[in-house]
Amino acid sequence: MISTLTGRVESVEASSAVIEVHGVGYEVRMAAADLAALHAGQETHVFTSLTISQDAVTLFGFLSPASKRMFLQLQKVSGIGPKVALSLLSTLPPDRLAKAVADGDTAALSKAPGLGKKGAQKIILELAGRIDLDQIRPEADGPSESRDPGARQVIEGLVSLGWRPQTAEEAVRQACDAASIVTPISAEDVPRVLKLALSSLDRGR
């Protein structure tokens, strides 16, 4: 089972990205928001789920563990397969999707292409009360701003320069990993992390 991929983005298409890992290119189907955060040449870390059917072997990818958890949770509903689950995640981020299920918001769920009102009602019926919202909220995915003010400072700096928040957060994580910088990021390390993250993002342009 392929659980994660860490490598270079080779290309980004309408519904998938190719990520090269040690010379092997993996085609990964991803939600629209995750694809929008990627660009060719970028180093990335993707959480994955491998699906095997009678006529295809498909690797699905996510930029956050919360998205992967929601993807797997949705498929526990009878009649909901990986394509519809990914469609839902392309329509709503995992925290809003979880809230829609908890609130019984059929209208929000039925906006996903390929689902419809009956499918939305089934999801609510079968998942209501079973989704742990604490495991889905965005702060469960990475360095929380309250726990890592240094990371927040760097991310805010990158965002002010025009980078997407999710892309900035990923660049900060990669910079810390590459330079073995301990998190939470200390005030002394903030300029260094910012420089490393900017260098990585500029190489990926």
- pLDDT tens per residue across span 169-197: 888 888 888 888 887 888 888 899 999 99
How far, CA to CA in Å, does 199 sit from each of 162, 168, 172, 204? 14, 12, 11, 9
Residue labelled with tokens 């040690």? 22
Q: Report how far residue 107's alpha carbon sits from residue 104's, in angstroms, rounded to the nearest whole number.
A: 9
The runs of H, that is alpha helices, within the chain are: 32-36, 65-74, 82-91, 94-103, 106-109, 116-127, 149-160, 165-178, 190-203
| Predicted pLDDT at 146 | 43
pLDDT digits 0-9 by tens, 57-74: 999 999 988 899 999 999
| Predicted pLDDT at 21 | 94
| Predicted pLDDT at 202 | 78
pTM above 0.85, yes or no: no
The band of 88, judged by pLDDT with boundaries at 50, 70 and 90, is very high
| Predicted pLDDT at 137 | 54
SS3 130: coil
Instruction: Name which residue leads in pLDDT, 201 or 134.
Output: 201
| pLDDT at 132 exceeding the cut of 70 | no
Nearest to 177 by CA among 44, 8, 69, 47: 44
| pLDDT at 82 exceeding the cut of 50 | yes
| Predicted pLDDT at 169 | 85
What's the farthest any 2 CA atoms get from each other in the chain? 55
Q: Report how far residue 77's alpha carbon sits from residue 89's, in angstroms, rounded to the nearest whole number.
A: 15
Q: Report how far residue 31's alpha carbon sits from residue 26's, in angstroms, rounded to the nearest whole number.
A: 16
| Predicted pLDDT at 183 | 78
pLDDT digits 0-9 by tens, 134-161: 555 554 444 444 457 788 888 888 888 8
Classify strands 43-52 and 24-30 as parallel, antiparallel or unpaired: unpaired
| Predicted pLDDT at 145 | 44
